[in-house]
Chain A
Amino acid sequence: MSKGFNKKAFIKTLALLLAFSVVQLLIRFNIISYYYQDILARVCINIILAVSLNLITGFTGQFSLGHAGFMSIGAYTCALIIERVPTVYGFIAGVILGALLAAFAGFLVGLPTLRLKGDYLAIATLGLSEIIRILFINLDSITNGAAGLYLQRRFVNWFWLYLFTVSTVVLISNFVRSSHGRACISIREDEIAAEAVGINTTKYKVIAFMIGSFFAGVAGAVYASYNYFIEPNLFNFSKSIDILVVVVLGGLGSISGSIMAATVLELISSFLQSVAAIRMVLYAVLLILIMLFRPGGLMGSRELSVAMLTELRKKAIAWLKAMPARAVHAVRSIAKGSGKPGDKSAGKGRVDG
C-alpha cells in the first residue's frame, strides 16, 4: 500500500519536474515568444489567486469579496522591500514578509468579521479591501499614493513563477485533504451540524482565511515584481470580482477546476485585450449563465482525475458508437414526419372505403 502511494507521488513529482524543464527549455531557446511568456506568467499568478480564494469561498464556504485587498498587502510589502534591497534575496524576503503580513491582515479581519454569515461577510470583506486600498492611496510618504510604485528590476522568472504556483496548489490541496481541511468542508456543508459534532467553526474559518490571504499575499508579491509597477487602483473591487469569476467558473471546491478556469479565462482575455468592454460583458454573461445552469461551477466540487477522465472517455466512446444508430433513427423520424400526412389520408381513405 505504502509502496503504491510512493510510486504515485514519485510519478507526480517527475511529471512536475518534466513540465518545468520543458517550458524552461522552450523559453531558453526562444520557442515561446515574449507574448506567450507574459500570458504564462499571468496564468500562474491567477492560479495562485484562484486556488487561494477557492479555499476560502469554495471549500470553507465563506464568501469573500476582498481578495484583492490581501493581494495588495503582499504586493506593496514586496515592492517596498525590493526598492530598498534590490537583489533576489530582497525579492524572496519580500514574498515571505508580504505573505505573512497578508495572513496577519487576514487574521485581524477574520476574527471579528467571520462571525457574520453569507452576504454580510461578503460586504464586510468588500468594505475592508476598499479601506486597505484607500489607506494605500493616502499613505503618500510610504506608498507614493495613487501614482503608484515603479520597480527597476524584475526578479520573477519562470523558475519562481512555477515554484510558487506549484507549492500553492500542492499545499492547499494537501490541506484540503487533511483533517483540518475536512473540518473546513464540513463548515461549508452545514455550519450548525459541524458545530454540533464538535468542530470549532470560528477557528477553522480563521485558519482558512489566513491561509487564503497568505497565498493572496504571495500572488501579490510575485505580481509586483513581475509587473514593474503597482498602484492602489489595480487592487480594486473589480480585481476581487475577476478572481471570484475564476473560482466560480472552475467550480466552488475544485482546485483543478480553478486551475483550468484561470488558464482559459486568461487566454480569452488576452485575445480580447483590444476590446476590454466586450470582455467584461462576456464575463458577466458567463457568470449569469453558469449560475443559472450549473450553480456549482463547471467542475462542481469534483477534481480532475484519471478515473474521471476514463469515465468521460467511456461516455464519449459510447456516444460516438451510438452515433450511426442515432443518425439512422433521426433520418427515419424525419422521413416518417414528412410521410405522416400521406399515411393519414391513406387511412382516411380506407375508412371511407
Chain B
Amino acid sequence: MDQFVQQIINGISLGSIYALIALGYTMVYGIIKLINFAHCDVYMLGAYIGYFCMTILHLDVIPSLLIAMMLCTVVGVLIEKIAYKPLRNATRIAVLITAIGVSLFLEYGTMYFVSAQVRTFPPRIVKSMSAGIKLGNINVTYMQLMIVGVTVLLMVLLQFTVKKTRIGKAMRAVSLDVDAAELMGINVDTTISFTFALGSALAGAAGVLVGLYYNSINPLMGMLPGLKAFVAAVFGGIGIIPGAMIGGYFIGMVETFVSGYGYSMYRDAVVFAILILILIIKPAGLLGRNVREKV
C-alpha cells in the first residue's frame, strides 16, 4: 500500500511536468495545426538557462525559473517568426519538416556551444531540494512539492489568460476559425506569436524543473520527454487545454507504475503503445470530438 501511494506521488510529479510540456504542444496545434517538434528543445534550452543561472549567476531556484521562462518565451517567438511564419500557407508536410529542422538546429546548435556532456546542478540546491517530509514510509521531497505547486499555479494562470483576457478570447477565436477571426478584426499573427510565447514559457519552466528533478541535463534531453508529452496531448485530445493536463498526468502515472513494478525497460514502449491504441480507437482523443472532413 505504501509503495502504491509513493508511486502515485511520484507519478503526479512526473505527470505535472508532462502536462506543462503538453500544454505548449496542444495550444500550438490547436491554433496552427502544427506539431511543433521544436517545442521539446525549447524545454531543453529552459533547463540549460536554469543551469547557467544557478551555476554562473548563483541565483536561487525561483529567480532562475523566471529567467528561464522569460528567455524561452523570446526563443519561442523568434522560432515562430523566423521559421513558421513564412510558411503560413505552405503544405502541412513542409511545415512539419521545417519544425523537425528547427528542432535539430536547436539540439545540435546547443551541443556545439555547450558540448554534449551531461551536466548536474550545483549540490547546494539539489541537496536542499531532495530533502523532504516523511509520512510513515512515504517520502515527499520539497522538489516534488515545488513541481506540483509551480505546475498548478501556472495552469491556473494559463486558464485565467485563455478564458478571461482579451488575448485569450482571440486565441480561442483563431483556433476555431482563422479566416473568420481575421474578418472580426483579430490580429492573427500577434495571436499566434502570443500562443508560442505562452507555450514556450511553460516549456522553459518544465525544463528547469526536470533538470532539478533528475539532476542531469544534456542537449538531447528534450527528445523523449517531448514525444511523451505529445502523446499526452494526443491522449487528452489535441488542441484542448484541459485534455493536455489530464493526458500529462495519465502518462506520468502510467510511466511511473510501469517502471515502479519492474518493467522500467519497457516504459517508453508502453507509452507509445498507448499512443497507437488511442490513435486507432479514438483519434480525436479523450475529450475531443470527431470532426467530419469536408471536401
> How near does chain B come to A287, taking the closest CB pair, in angstroms?
3
A280:B269 contact, CB within 8 angstroms? no
Query: Is A23 in the interface zone, CB < 8 Å from B?
Result: no
Question: A288 contacts B101, CB within 8 Å?
Answer: yes
Q: How many residues of B contact A (CB 8 A)?
A: 45
- Bound-state CA distance A291–B273 (Å) is 31
Contact A123 B93, CB 8 Å, known A288-B102, A291-B87: no
Residue numbers in B under 8 Å from A194 (CB-CB) = none
Which of B103-111, B153-161, B174-182 forms part of the interface with chain A?
Answer: B103-111
Asked, given contacts A137-B265, A284-B102, A292-B86, whether A127 binds B97 with beta carbons under 8 Å apart, the answer is no
Say yes or no: is A278 at the interface (Cβ < 8 Å to chain B).
yes
**Complex contact B276–A134 (CB within 8 A):** no
Per-residue CB contact flags for chain B residues 55-91 toward chain A (1 = under 8 Å, else 0) read 0000000000000000000000000000100110011
* Contact A130 B104, CB 8 Å, known A113-B279, A281-B112, A291-B87: no
Is there contact, CB below 8 Å, between B107 and A130? no
What is the bound-complex CA distance between A134 and B105, given in angstroms? Answer: 26
Closest to B275 in A: A127
User: In the complex the two chains form, is A123's CB within 8 Å of B35's CB?
Assistant: yes
With A135-B269, A292-B86 already in contact, the answer to whether A112 and B280 are too (CB < 8 A) is yes
Residue numbers in A under 8 Å from B112 (CB-CB): 277-278, 281
- CA–CA, A131 to B231, complex, Å? 14
Knowing A119-B92, A281-B105, say if A124 contacts B98 (CB, 8 Å).
no
Q: Is A101 an interface residue (CB 8 A)?
A: no
A127-B231, A127-B276 given; A192·B283 CB < 8 A:
no
Contact A280 B104 (CB under 8 A): yes
Which residues of A have CB within 8 Å of B92?
118-119
B93→A118 contact, CB < 8 A: yes
Q: Which residues of A contact B (CB under 8 A)?
A: 57, 61, 63, 112-113, 115-116, 118-120, 122-124, 126-128, 130-131, 134-135, 137-138, 192, 237, 241, 244, 248, 252, 277-278, 280-281, 283-288, 291-292, 295
5 nearest CB pairs, A to B? A287-B101, A127-B272, A284-B105, A280-B108, A284-B104
Known: A127-B272, A134-B268, A287-B101. 16 other contacts (CB 8 A): A63-B96, A116-B279, A123-B230, A124-B276, A126-B227, A192-B293, A237-B223, A244-B100, A277-B108, A277-B112, A284-B103, A284-B104, A285-B105, A288-B101, A288-B105, A292-B83
